[in-house]
Amino acid sequence: MGIRMAGLAAVLAAFPLMLSPHAIGGATSALAGVQSWTYQLQGIDLRVLAATNSDLLVIDYSRDGTAAGAFSASQIAALKTKPDGSQRFVLAYLSIGEAESYRFYWQDAWARDRPSWLFGENPEWEDNYGIRYWDPAWQAIIFGQPTSYLDQIVAAGFDGVYLDRVDAFERNDPQLSSAHRKSAMVAFVNSLAAYARAGAPQFLVVPQNGEELLSDPSYRRSIDAMAKEDLLYGAEEDQQRNSLGTLRASLELISRLTAEGKPVFLTEYLTASSDIAQARDDAATLGVVLFIGDRELDDAHSR
């Protein structure tokens, strides 16, 4: 075994079987039993999704991101039953750390008269815009009234939300320090979760990335699981193995959540068969639930 692989084995060995039955003990997370999942945001075909055996589906609330394309409550209800008759969870993707110009809430007037909480377009993701997520005007778009994003997701019968861009606290802003940006995101997620559960007590909240927030106990209590992209590959260079330091830093934070019996759903974006096989082995060692696809997330099946 080479030095690099030996080091990797040592890092993984420090966090073995994070979700083994012995580790989770009396876990209360409803998602603790999930063994497979599908993460698809584009090119959705409900018939294909319904035919999968995934225990968890993460999809957009809409076929094309628009209000007109929103899935109905009956369509979501149908997805909750697997081909064998058993039940599964269906979560709606919800970006809370960036604004998206193809969403129902976007106003064309913002191009001429931009709200104080809205910034420029993300150079890496077209039609995605930086925001001050702590601003009450933005948070009112996300939840708090029947026309809000979260409220429509709840009304459609989704089991919960899959929160993207909770790591927006990494964006520098003269209005708030780094520590205050983290606290503001924790408060945002906590408030969102409490609001949803006031009407739907079993509503699930699963944030993606931003594992630095797991140091806050209130945040860990508010969420039911965590999703992580690029844990093993791609954080530093696309489809390349992450450094041991990057891997260890993430695992040390994530282990705070798994120690409390809450699962981790991992997404890796890989094409090489050897990398795919290695990622599967590593995920099995860690006890995390793996989905492998491309960054467009346009396929219901893991590679």
pLDDT tens digits, 53-82: 999 999 999 998 888 999 999 999 999 999
For residue 136, the enclosing domain spans 3-293
On whether residue 301 sits in a domain, the answer given is no
Quote the pLDDT of residue 66. 87
On whether residue 298 sits in a domain, the answer given is no
111 secondary structure, DSSP code: G
Residue with tokens 């409550």: 73
C-beta of residue 210 within 8 angstroms of C-beta of residue 185: yes
Q: Looking at the 3D structure of the chain, how many domains does it have?
A: 1
Mean pLDDT of 19-40: 74
pLDDT category at 9 given cuts 50, 70, 90 is confident
C-beta of residue 26 within 8 angstroms of C-beta of residue 261: yes
Query: How many other C-beta atoms can be found within 10 angstroms of the C-beta atom of residue 8?
Result: 19
**Average pLDDT of every residue of the chain:** 93
On whether residue 139 sits in a domain, the answer given is yes
Q: Which helix (H) or strand (E) holds 266?
A: strand 264-269
Q: What are the pLDDT digits (tens) for 106-138?
A: 999 998 899 999 999 999 999 999 999 999 999
Quote the pLDDT of residue 4. 61
Instruction: Return the amino acid letter for 27.
Output: A
Higher-confidence position of 238 and 25: 238
How far apart are alpha carbons 164 and 115 in whole angstroms? Answer: 22
How far apart are alpha carbons 150 and 142 in whole angstroms? Answer: 6
26: tokens are 């009396």
On whether residue 199 sits in a domain, the answer given is yes
In 118-247, beta strands by DSSP E: 118-121, 128-131, 160-164, 204-207, 226-229
34 secondary structure, DSSP code: -
Long-range contacts of 233-239 (CB under 8 A, 24+ apart): 233/268, 233/269, 233/270, 233/275, 233/279, 234/268, 234/269, 234/270, 238/269, 239/269, 239/270, 239/271, 239/272, 239/275
How far apart are alpha carbons 91 and 71 in whole angstroms? Answer: 12
On whether residue 141 sits in a domain, the answer given is yes
On whether residue 55 sits in a domain, the answer given is yes
CA distances from 276 to 166, 218, 234 (A): 27, 35, 13
Quote the pLDDT of residue 16. 57
Query: How many other C-beta atoms can be found within 10 angstroms of the C-beta atom of residue 268?
Result: 25
pLDDT of 229 higher than 80: yes
On whether residue 65 sits in a domain, the answer given is yes
Helices (H) and strands (E) in the chain, counts: 10, 11
Angle at 49 between CA 199 and CA 21, to 5 degrees: 70
C-beta of residue 230 within 8 angstroms of C-beta of residue 243: no
CA distances from 104 to 65, 67, 100, 124 (A): 8, 5, 9, 22
Q: What is the CATH number for 205?
A: 3.20.20.70
On whether residue 28 sits in a domain, the answer given is yes
